[in-house]
Amino acid sequence: MTPAEGQAFDPALALRTLHAHGVRFVLIGGLAANVLGSPSITYDLDICYARDEANLAALAAALTELGARLRGVRERVPFRLDALTLKRGDSFTFTTRAGSVDVLATPSGTRGYDELEADASEIELAGVEVRVASIDALMRMKRAAARPKDRIELEVLEALKDEIEQQREAGS
C-alpha cells in the first residue's frame, strides 16, 4: 500500500498518540516486520487492540486526536468514532494525520489481542515502549491472509526467522 494521496506516513506520531492515551495494543503488519528485521517497505500502521471498555474509549480518543476518518470511502459517510462503534466492529481502516492506520481486533490467523500480547516483545519505538508481535505470530497472520503480497512477505519472514535462529545457535 502506498501513502494516502497527499498524506505523509508518520508512524512515530501515531505511536506517540496511542501511547499518550494509554491504548493497549500490539504492533502487527509491515512495521512490526520491519522492527524485527524485514527490509520490506510499508506505508501504514497496523495494530491489534484490546477490547475492554476502557481501552476502546482510549483508542477512540487517540484516533479522534489523529483526525481519523474511514479510508477507502469516496464520499464522507456518517461515522461515529467512539468506543461503542469500535466494540460493534472488528477491523477498521483509517486515514489520519499520521497516514494510514489499521486497527484490528482479531487479525487473520489469531484469536486477537490476548494471544498476540502473550508472546510479543516490548521494543522502544518513537520514544515509547511498544508491544510488537512475534515473528511466529506475523507468519501465522500472513499465512491466514494468503494474499499475494502476504505470501511474498511470508517468504521474507521465514528467511528472517532462519537467520535469527542461526545467529542464536552461533551465539550458544
In the chain, domain spans:
11-134
pLDDT band at 164 (very low <50, low <70, confident <90, very high): confident
| Helix, strand, coil content of the chain in percent (nearest 5) | 45, 20, 35
Q: What angle do CA 113, 117, 121 make, to 5 degrees?
A: 145
Residue (of 129, 125, 93) closest to 10 by Cα position: 125
Tell which phi-psi region holds residue 112, choosing left (phi > 0), alpha (psi between -120 and 50) or beta: left
Buried-state track 41-52, b at ≥16 Cβ within 10 A, e below 16: ebbbbbbbbbbe
Round the average pLDDT of the chain to a whole number and report it: 93
The pLDDT of residue 3 is 53
Q: Mapping DSSP to helix (H, G, I), strand (E, B) and coil, where does residue 85 land?
A: helix
Query: What is the dotted CATH code of the domain comprising 11-134?
Result: 3.30.460.40
When mean pLDDT is compared across 45-49, 86-90, 133-137, 147-151, the lowest value belongs to 147-151
Q: What cell does 16 get?
A: 506517540
